[in-house]
Amino acid sequence: MKVDLFDFHLPEELIAQTPLEERTASRLMVLNKEDGSLSHSHFRDITKYLKPGDCLVLNDTRVLPARLFGEKEDTGAAIEILLLKQEEGDAWETLVKPAKRVKEGTIITFGDGRLTAECVGIKDHGGRILEFKYDGIFYEILESLGDMPLPPYIKERLDDSERYQTVFAKERGSAAAPTAGLHFTQELLKEIEDMGVHIAFITLHVGLGTFRPVSVEDLQEHEMHAEFYQISEGTARLLNEVREAGGRIISVGTTSTRTLETVATANDGRFTASSGWTNIFIYPGYEFKAIDGMITNFHLPKSTLIMLVSALAGREHVLHAYETAVKERYRFFSFGDAMFIL
């Protein structure tokens, strides 16, 4: 299957640069995956499309302020780093700019020396392994020194970093937000629960590979990035009970979807408490084992995310929905509008 089959024209001005003042004010396109029919609403009205006994599955990962600006200890040259994932102890895999200035043994200082890092290894793709030294608690220092790592297509500065976190974000470790969850408020979640819909949480720490373009012509040759996931015993039990009672499992976002499908695939369609790394690649032809519907944002042309959505709703249905979204001036990507596939 060719990657170009998932291309569409997206005017640049439709890429949302800032979040709406009110999270639930986003528009909502509802796509029927069986017949491709569309309807238009607002996210605050999502309860119209939920039923008692359904289960919404949310990703409770919290985005790290993972972008740090420092300088080389010996020359004072400016260095920017992006934390990718923790290795062992205080060692992290990072992206460094300019990378050519950082060799093994290079010392970088941040925040007048409150935090220092030594380059202790170089990855094949050019990333650097940095080992940090500090007094106190690493994550507290990171919160005070780091910037939010917004996606490359967002050019505007974010005034309130919490707007790039979901209201239920808890487990620190993501390089990017699970953006479908940004539309929810605590009040809306309570309203959903009060109508008899279950709320379940999983964790998947989103990696920057999410933004990596597909560079091969044939999508079967694309290698997905691996991301850490975790599903608790309580969540697994609830999902099995919902399934047995005939309720729908609705994932909020592609990250929740990938987690649920990873776990269900490994357990003959059932859910069990587990954690590990997943590089599952979902594209048309995939048979879903875990979810019945999905809430998601509008994604990049030719991305693995639009391929996943197309696997659930059908490529032609999805591309027609996206053409309609462009025509109707929907907002795209992280701070954009939402789609409910049911």
pLDDT, one tens digit per residue, over 191-228 is 999 999 999 999 999 986 665 667 788 878 888 888 99
278 vs 258: CA distance, rounded Å? 8
The C-alpha atoms of residue 168 and residue 177 are separated, in whole angstroms, by: 12
Closest of 20, 19, 42 to residue 30, by C-alpha: 42
Q: In sequence order, which residues have a C-beta less than 8 Å from that of residue 51 and are 6 or more positions away?
A: 197, 247, 248
What's the confidence (pLDDT) of residue 225? Answer: 81
Helix (H, G, I), strand (E, B) or coil at 266: helix
The segment(s) of the chain belonging to CATH 3.40.1780.10 are 3-63+160-341
The H or E element that residue 296 is part of is: strand 293-297
The CATH code of domain 67-147 reads: 2.40.10.240
What CA–CA distance (Å, rounded) separates 22 from 163? 10
Residue 279 phi/psi, 5-degree rounding, is -125, 30
Rounded-to-integer distance, Cα 123 and Cα 94, Å: 9
> Which of 54-58, 66-70, 235-239 has the lowest average pLDDT?
66-70
Instruction: Provide the pLDDT for residue 212.
Output: 64
Please write the tens of the pLDDT for every residue from 238-287. 999 999 999 999 999 999 999 999 999 999 999 999 999 999 999 999 99
* Fold annotation for 3-63+160-341: QueA-like (3.40.1780)
Domain with CATH 2.40.10.240 in the chain: 67-147
DSSP β-bridge partners for residue 277:
228
Cα 302-177-185 angle, rounded to 5 deg: 120
